[in-house]
Amino acid sequence: MTLFINNEVVEKVLTMQDTIDVLEKAYRDLADGEAVCRPRVDIQIPTSDPNKAYQWGSMEGGSVGGYFAIRMKSDIIYETEYEGVRSQEKYCTEPGTYCGLIFVTDVETGTPLAFINDGVLQHMRVGADGGIGVKYMSREDSEVVGMIGSGGMARTHLDAFMCVRNIKKVQVFSPTKANREAYAEEMRARHNIEIVVCDNHEEVYKGADIIAGCTDSAVPVIRAECLEPGQHVINVGGGGGMVGKEAQDLIDVYFRFGNAPAPQGLPEFDLADEYLTYAARPDHDYGFTQKRKGGRGHGVAMPDKVLYFVDIMQGTNRGRTSSKEITYSERGNLQGNQFHAVAGRAYERAKEAELGNEVPTEWFLQDIRN
């Protein structure tokens, strides 16, 4: 039987430590040539509203002896502004509902194994990336987190940090006071640590060891003038997931997990772009700042400072060499490599717990050759 696994089941069976473990293995497998993936590809089509676009996004990958998975999203995207902060919003059908699915198959037989809602898993895999970056690049004595943002990503990132460092305190700021206070209350109860609610952005940085920008902002949120020596920086969202040029100038070490490999026989397609966009009416301007017209997803932003997972594996570069260096980490365009690993583990855990809705596998099979 094929399983349909919803967010509630994923939340019950998938732990953050599980997620970190399988992602680390997936990155090592990719470096060893045992796994493969492609960059995220978006199809963008104008809607009748000139400020909104339909966007289909997909990313896929698999590993030898494991699973293959494709993650698919169907979104209407647009941007809004609140108290001077510009954010990208999305929905499917109507605001507040979303369509994101992961289709998992067995690479030995091709059998459809599961369809999984991507909401919880998506937050888990991005948070785990933050944890992996902190594990390898932050100072081992890091105890204080400066958290910018108070949504789902801010929650899973802190969960991941707790797995890899002895975190004792979090300083949190987000534009909406009620949201940052709710986050503080929840995280105090979950982790039994000190949570300080900051009234302004600048307070987050003071004395922090790890700075985490976890927002849906359409522009970079990390403030270079506030960074302090020895901090490790992570940024999710913020105009494509990269810190601004001023912060880049201060960063000493840039840990990028890797890049999706080029197709066989096409080395010129060895792209580091975060995403590739194919568009109907390519000259149409939605006024987006996060996905600007004609723009590309960011790639290797600091080539003179970069090291990869393979460098750490082979011992050619260990990253931080001083407690005063400012370090930065990000995944690279390896989303497809993440989903087969994390969705595969979620499928295994759901099977073990006898959870998920069964769907006859024969419904997905046919006797006409495709």
In a domain, 195, yes or no: yes
Pair (152, 193) in one structural domain: yes
Are 262 and 269 in contact by the 8 Å Cβ rule? The answer is: yes
| CA-CA-CA-CA dihedral for 225, 213, 142, 320, to nearest 10 | -70
Pair (106, 30) in one structural domain: yes
Pair (70, 161) in one structural domain: no
Q: Copy the structure tokens of residue 37.
A: 């993936």
Look up the domain containing 26 and give its range: 2-121+336-364
Three-state secondary structure call for residue 362: helix
92: which DSSP letter?
A: B
What's the rounded Cα separation, in Å, for the pair 171 and 197?
A: 6
pLDDT digits (tens, 9 = 90+) for 77-119: 998 877 666 778 899 999 999 999 999 999 999 999 999 999 9
Pair (166, 313) in one structural domain: yes
Pair (324, 341) in one structural domain: no
Pair (114, 136) in one structural domain: no
Q: Copy the structure tokens of residue 161.
A: 């940090």
237 pLDDT more than 80? no
pLDDT digits (tens, 9 = 90+) for 294-346: 667 777 888 899 999 999 888 877 788 999 999 999 999 999 999 999 999 99
In a domain, 276, yes or no: no
Q: Which of 85-89, 198-202, 345-349 has the lowest mean pLDDT?
A: 85-89
Pair (23, 137) in one structural domain: no
CATH number at residue 110: 3.30.1780.10
Percent share of the chain, pLDDT over 70 = 95
Pair (354, 250) in one structural domain: no
This prediction has a pTM of: 0.90
Pair (108, 210) in one structural domain: no
204 pLDDT more than 90? yes
User: Stretch 62-76: mean pLDDT, rounded?
Assistant: 97
In a domain, 112, yes or no: yes
User: Stretch 263-291: mean pLDDT, rounded?
Assistant: 85
What's the rounded Cα separation, in Å, for the pair 155 and 187?
A: 8
Domain total for the chain? Answer: 2
Pair (329, 240) in one structural domain: yes
The pLDDT value given to residue 184: 96
Q: Does the CA dihedral 88-157-333-114 come out positive or negative?
A: negative
218 pLDDT more than 70? no
Q: How confident is the model at residue 293 (pLDDT cuts 50, 70, 90)?
A: low
191 pLDDT more than 90? yes
Pair (43, 103) in one structural domain: yes
70 pLDDT more than 60? yes
In a domain, 290, yes or no: no
Burial of 291: CB neighbours in 10 Å, binned 0-12, 13-18, 19+: buried
Segments of the chain assigned E as strands: 2-5, 35-37, 40-46, 53-63, 67-82, 85-91, 99-106, 112-117, 144-148, 169-173, 194-197, 210-214, 232-236, 253-256, 275-279, 306-307, 327-330, 357-359
In a domain, 111, yes or no: yes
Pair (324, 356) in one structural domain: no
The pLDDT value given to residue 206: 96
238 pLDDT more than 60? no
Q: Copy the structure tokens of residue 213.
A: 């920008």
CA dist 139 to 143, 208, 213, 333, Å? 9, 11, 18, 26
Decide the pairing of beta strands 2-5 and 112-117. parallel
What's at 188, amino acid-wise? R
Number of H helices, E strands in the chain: 8, 18
CATH number at residue 210: 3.40.50.720
In a domain, 248, yes or no: yes
241 pLDDT more than 60? no
Q: Copy the structure tokens of residue 228.
A: 């302090």
Q: Which of 106-110, 132-136, 198-202, 291-295 has the lowest mean pLDDT?
A: 291-295
In a domain, 169, yes or no: yes
| Bridge partners for 85 per DSSP | 82
In a domain, 280, yes or no: no
